[in-house]
Amino acid sequence: MGSGPMVAVYGAYGHTGRFVVARLRERGLVPVASGRDAGKLTALAAGSGLEVRPARVDDPASLDAALAGAAAVVNAAGPFATTAAPVIEAALRAGIPYVDVAAEIEANADTFAHFADRARAAGAVIVPAMAFYGGLGDLLATTAMGDWTAADEAHVAYGLSGWHPTAGTRAAGAVSRLRRDGRRVRHSNGRLEYRDDAPPALEWPFPAPTGRRAVIGEFTMADVVTLPSHLDIPEVRTYMTVEAARDLSSPETPEPAPADELGRSAQTFVVDVVVRSGGAERRATARGRDIYAVTAPLVVEAVGRILTGRTRTVGVASAGEIFDAPDFLRALSPHISLDPRP
């Protein structure tokens, strides 16, 4: 059992939440498990000494009790369209930092739109999308930018060996599709655009050994919110390997299954980020295993830096804005490999 600060984890019994709880303990922090389902919390805590605090997002008093005495809160419970705002409100009442792992584009945009002014005025820290989608791409893009103050375009290409989505991923996707009326979204001319046409089928030249792969162009992820929130880049595009997109769209694809002693699946990934300005191009690439498992070191590193004052701003801020992006990526070296190494 750790002896460090206490960190509440809302959605602790979910697939990603379990990885977050384990990583907090590895870092010497003390997780407190919270969420809507008391039975699942009890099962999670069985024999582990983990404190559990059931709470519902429609019951502010229960959220306040869940966060009492905590130094920070991690929200790992989707759909974030439902959970983000109530848990942020509870964090603001408690006067503690809030970090989430939201991949939902609209939920992340809402967090910036609805809480930026209040959080800045209060000197509070709110970091949305501190996860594989949204957070890692933002850190890579910020690192690739280097001394550039602006760029013409940014491209974030996801080379996944496959994608076995969790129940939470499917639920969040359903909410997003409903909010968009079934349309797709992209970031162009400095804003989000909603479109009814089909996304383009393209190829992306991933660095060796992955090489050129078929991708779905404008397969838009949370990077279209995080990057433009602080980087002067009017065109942001994201891409997904065809195999992963096919897995995600099929209702027959099973949830991820553990394949090692850490509970990670066999899924591998490469995230290839290219920024362009005029005729110049810069690149940063990360490789690793299991998009859900790698979210845990991302979010826990963020919590650790926030609690020790290694931040660059207050308010609602994405990973690349609030942290020293190259240094943050170096700290993830046990979990991802980088090219070039920042």
Q: Which long-range contacts (CB under 8 A, 24 or more apart) does 288-291 make?
A: 288/335, 288/336, 288/337, 289/264, 289/265, 290/256, 290/264, 290/265, 291/132, 291/133, 291/160, 291/163, 291/267
| Domain presence at residue 140 | yes
159 plus 282 within the same structural domain: yes
Q: How many CB atoms lie within 10 A of CB 262?
A: 12
271 plus 286 within the same structural domain: yes
202 plus 301 within the same structural domain: no
Residue ranges making up the domain that contains 182? 134-290
Distances (CA, A) of 22 to 32, 96, 290, 296: 11, 21, 15, 8
| Domain presence at residue 231 | yes
pLDDT tens-digit profile, the chain (342 residues): 557 999 999 999 999 999 999 999 999 999 999 999 999 999 999 989 999 999 999 999 999 999 999 999 999 999 999 999 999 999 999 999 999 999 999 999 999 999 999 999 999 999 999 999 999 999 999 999 999 999 999 999 999 999 999 999 999 999 999 999 999 999 999 999 999 999 999 999 999 999 999 999 999 999 999 999 999 999 999 999 999 999 999 999 999 999 999 999 999 999 999 999 999 999 999 999 999 999 999 999 999 999 999 999 999 999 999 999 999 999 999 999 999 877
- CATH label of the domain that carries residue 286: 3.30.360.10
- Name residues whose C-beta falls within 8 Å of residue 18's C-beta, 6 or more positions apart in sequence: 12, 44, 263
| Domain presence at residue 118 | yes
Q: How far apart are the first and last CA of the chain?
A: 34
- CATH label of the domain that carries residue 105: 3.40.50.720
48 plus 99 within the same structural domain: yes
- Supply the pLDDT for residue 2: 59
141 plus 286 within the same structural domain: yes
Number of domains composing the chain? 2
| Domain presence at residue 337 | no
96 plus 22 within the same structural domain: yes
192 plus 252 within the same structural domain: yes
Cα–Cα distance measured from residue 87 to residue 34, given in angstroms and rounded to the nearest whole number:
11
185 plus 271 within the same structural domain: yes
Cβ 278 vs Cβ 285: under 8 Å: no
Cα–Cα distance measured from residue 67 to residue 22, given in angstroms and rounded to the nearest whole number:
19
DSSP state of 231: S
